[in-house]
Structure 1
Amino acid sequence: MTNSMRLEADYILETYIPPEQAAEIIAGEQSSGTFVAVPGETPELKALAAAKVESLETIATYNAVPALDGRYPTDAAMPLHQVRMTLSWPIATVGTSLPNILATVAGNLFELACVTGLRIVDIRFPPPFFQKYKGPAFGIEGTRELSGVRTGPMIGTIIKPSVGLTAEQTASLVQELVNGGIDFIKDDELQSDSSVCPFEDRVDRVMRVINEAAERTGKKTMYAFNLTGDMDEMRRRHDKLVSAGATCLMVSLNSVGMAGFVGLRSFSQLPIHAHRNGWGYLTRHRLLGWSYVAWQKIWRLAGADHMHVNGVDNKFSEDNESVIRSARECLTPISEDKPCLVMPVFSSGQTVRQAHATYAGLQSDDLIVTAGGGIVAHPKGPAAGVQALRDAYQAATSGESLESAARRSHELKLALESGA
């Protein structure tokens, strides 16, 4: 348990100097110290403001090329130390601002000369953060209520082609998907507002299709419109969505930043579908950046309702174990008082073939699966693609094999045969 008035973060540190010395350098750099002693940094000030090295646990010592480039000693036999390090900071001096906390736990420490590798693997917030930040306004329950999907995975897709369709063409595709009974649709992150497909025109045309279908059938498909932009643009776009009867918005986290996201959360009346595009540059190196365990916590606390977690057997570099661990984290409380549970969103090359492994790994039906080509490219069209994916996930959650389900679902059978 973290001290009630201190923020804690765990790291994997690689260094060529004694780990205890490296840890103290990092703690000083990220709080009251610098590269030399300065007037005013008294023992009393350090006691109030300095970061503390809470623990160091040796993982390994080895001779190898440093994980990261830098100005290091030229001795090829230089031993490297890898340790798990926990640092803490007093809230009295760092405050409870999430944007400022990012500068504290993920600031200049990465480029310190003694650091040959550094990765944030977890973060723990003291109670003042949960008192200040609202967390998700809708989360799992609110998303299910708005979409009308009370149980089971939410079957979704991404508009494909990602860009290039006009607003009218987008609405035409949405009509086919809605006719197929889809639960969730989202803009691609590359699509926001353009002369080819203006935001307001897209909203008007798409919501006309969705609203008319809802009046006929009682089912209102949730569409996450990408409103990523500057603050004034996001506010205008949000208000347009509300007036049109939309039930979700999407934002690119790394594009708007923490301050922009917190601002959006402060006025949003809709669930926030949080897209993590750009995540690779924060995590792909094994000893640099963030683990998803740590990273997703800050966005959940800030107010995300859905979080992307990649997908099983995806088209990117992430392995399945990491994907499932990320998804489970979204369903794991970050505080007893404020769990901040959010919908994990599976995407990236998803088809009917990943349904069983996804459900078996997650062991929960609280998920959104977004299959772009896996639905839109179905040989019988998008509506058949929706049915095929739904049949695959129904088989997975009921314990029926994919092959057995395909014998009674023509749409699923065609999907398997075509690879869609």
Structure 2
Amino acid sequence: MSERFSANYVLRTLDDADRAAGIIAGEQSSGTFVSTPGEDEALKARSAARVEMLEEIEDAGGPALPGSAGNGPIRSWRLRLSWPLENIGPSIPNLIATVAGNLGELKQVAGLKITDLDLPPSFFGTYPGPAFGIEGTRRLSGVTKGPLIGTIIKPSVGLTPAGTAELVEELCAGGIDFIKDDELQADGPRCPFEERLAAVMDVIDRHADRTGRKVMYAANITGEIDEMQRRHDLVANRGGTCVMVSLNCVGPAGVTALRRASHLPIHAHRNGWGILGRAPDNGWSYPAWATLWRLAGVDHMHVNGLTNKFWEPDDSVIRSARHCLSPLHPDHPYTVMPVFSSGQTVLQAAPTFAQLGSADLIFCAGGGVVAHPAGVAAGVTSLRQAWEAAEAGVPLAEAASRSALLQQAVEKFS
């Protein structure tokens, strides 16, 4: 194989940058802390990682990682490493081991953030990518334009299957496009998966018979690989149109196994990503991290939301969503539908559309739907009205002056 793959980083170090970059490259390819038998120049030429770029940038000024070694001040560098593909083959688990691996533990590393991955064609020949993506999601949901207006089952846990179905009844009657289980609700004894699925699909099917359009329900099938495959089959056999998994909980091997067996869109929840990505100078950027899952074959990816209830600034959220909508490779787009969630209400519709410049998204509001003063159906209607106004360029206040339900929502969530 002559192909190579590469990763970009922001490196912070107290050491000489060239020395630190060389140690990083050696640690993640053919070298270790001491020369070993067989490590000749021919082997290094064949298998060693290359430092392709090392460029100093302004340091953000945060503290160094504990145990960092070196005699100088902390300085920051853009670093690009590349590896021969023959070191690992086109394998996502081994890609992660190579580009991340032990790097955060090296003394020479005072901070390291993976910012981007560049993968050769062999990866795209091995991993099929999304089976449905944006086009397939629109086809199955019957939403041909505009965002899918969605919500999350709330409260997150505590409802019985019957209680969940009662809420779904209200949501379907109100005209919702998309419903997902909360990531905390999988297969607990109070709300067993099979009973919940049966109760919810009874409601969805009844409304589909009436309206001719089936609400997309992302049933949380997160679990061991055999459990996920069994639950996927239950959803598919029951006529469901989506399954959900928590990415960090099942890992790339779990997602890949599910994708190979799945006949439904895979809704990917990112819970736990903050541990990997929140620090500005350590961990993974969202685009680098999301590349793994898009390659593995998910169809929807959570990106947080504007003015969210968490820590993330709006520009970071929009960058994540744009990454989902941008091709990974000229010949293999692998685009996925971004999912806006986390404290979303009618107030975020216009800025989301204005900043993203697209309505190819799922807009999930939990409390922003079910907490509407006039009830769940009013929550769905007002959210749809807010998005219709946003796409038409009508200011929210003007649209609210024409709709009592939208005005109530504006007052409630302002």
Does 2:117 correspond to 1:119?
no
Equivalent AA in structure 1 for residue 177 of structure 2:
D
How far does residue 67 in structure 1 lie from its aligned partner after superposition?
2.8
How far does residue 61 in structure 1 lie from its aligned partner after superposition?
6.4
- 1:124–1:4 Cα change, 3 Å: farther
The 5 A counterparts of 1:144-223 are 144-223=138-217
- 1:4–1:209 Cα change, 3 Å: farther
Equivalent AA in structure 1 for residue 404 of structure 2:
H
The 5 A counterparts of 1:232-311 are 232-311=226-305
- Which of 64, 67, 70 aligns to 1:67? It is 64
Equivalent AA in structure 1 for residue 360 of structure 2:
D
> How many aligned positions are there?
414
How far does residue 417 in structure 1 lie from its aligned partner after superposition?
1.5
How far does residue 71 in structure 1 lie from its aligned partner after superposition?
4.5
Q: Which residue of structure 2 aligns with residue 408 of structure 1?
A: 402
Q: Which residue of structure 2 aligns with residue 389 of structure 1?
A: 383
Write the distance in 1 (CA, Å) between the matches of 2:232 and 2:129.
Answer: 19
Does 2:134 correspond to 1:134?
no
**Would you say the 8 A contact 1:170–1:206 is kept in 2?**
yes
| Residue ranges of structure 2 left out of the alignment (5+ in a row) | none
**Would you say the 8 A contact 2:5–2:119 is kept in 1?**
yes
Write the distance in 1 (CA, Å) between the matches of 2:63 and 2:147.
Answer: 44
How far does residue 218 in structure 1 lie from its aligned partner after superposition?
0.5
Q: What's the secondary structure of 1:156's corresponding residue?
A: strand
Identity of aligned residues (%): 60
Q: What's the secondary structure of 2:74's corresponding residue?
A: strand
Equivalent AA in structure 2 for residue 57 of structure 1:
E
Does 2:3 correspond to 1:5?
yes
- Once the two structures are superposed, residues 91-136 of structure 1 have per-residue CA deviations (whole angstroms, 9 ceiling, x without a partner) of 1122111011000011101110100000000001101001110000
Equivalent AA in structure 2 for residue 109 of structure 1:
L
Q: What's the secondary structure of 1:56's corresponding residue?
A: strand
Write the distance in 2 (CA, Å) between the matches of 1:377 and 1:287.
Answer: 38
Write the distance in 1 (CA, Å) between the matches of 2:338 and 2:391.
Answer: 17
Does 2:42 correspond to 1:44?
yes
How far does residue 65 in structure 1 lie from its aligned partner after superposition?
6.2
Equivalent AA in structure 2 for residue 17 of structure 1:
D
Write the distance in 1 (CA, Å) between the matches of 2:28 and 2:92.
Answer: 15
How far does residue 385 in structure 1 lie from its aligned partner after superposition?
0.2
Q: Which residue of structure 2 aligns with residue 336 of structure 1?
A: 330
Equivalent AA in structure 2 for residue 166 of structure 1:
T
**Would you say the 8 A contact 1:18–1:81 is kept in 2?**
no
**Would you say the 8 A contact 1:61–1:79 is kept in 2?**
no
Q: What's the secondary structure of 1:115's corresponding residue?
A: coil
Write the distance in 1 (CA, Å) between the matches of 2:68 and 2:208.
Answer: 62
- Once the two structures are superposed, residues 64-106 of structure 1 have per-residue CA deviations (whole angstroms, 9 ceiling, x without a partner) of 6643111535x7xx31221000000101122111011000011
Q: What's the secondary structure of 2:58's corresponding residue?
A: strand
Q: TM-score, normalised by structure 1?
A: 0.97
Q: Which residue of structure 2 aligns with residue 57 of structure 1?
A: 55
Q: Which residue of structure 1 aligns with residue 31 of structure 2?
A: 33
Runs of 4+ in structure 1 over 6 Å off: none
Does 2:314 correspond to 1:314?
no
Write the distance in 1 (CA, Å) between the matches of 2:32 and 2:49.
Answer: 12
Q: Which residue of structure 2 aligns with residue 374 of structure 1?
A: 368
Q: TM-score, normalised by structure 2?
A: 0.98
Write the distance in 2 (CA, Å) between the matches of 1:380 and 1:176.
Answer: 12
- Once the two structures are superposed, residues 363-394 of structure 1 have per-residue CA deviations (whole angstroms, 9 ceiling, x without a partner) of 00101010000000011111110001000011
How far does residue 60 in structure 1 lie from its aligned partner after superposition?
3.3
How far does residue 9 in structure 1 lie from its aligned partner after superposition?
0.4
- Once the two structures are superposed, residues 161-189 of structure 1 have per-residue CA deviations (whole angstroms, 9 ceiling, x without a partner) of 00000000100100000001100000000
- Once the two structures are superposed, residues 35-81 of structure 1 have per-residue CA deviations (whole angstroms, 9 ceiling, x without a partner) of 0111101111111111110111111369x6643111535x7xx3122
Write the distance in 2 (CA, Å) between the matches of 1:188 and 1:353.
Answer: 22
Q: What's the secondary structure of 1:345's corresponding residue?
A: strand
Write the distance in 1 (CA, Å) between the matches of 2:270 and 2:291.
Answer: 13
- Which of 356, 365, 374 aligns to 1:362? It is 356
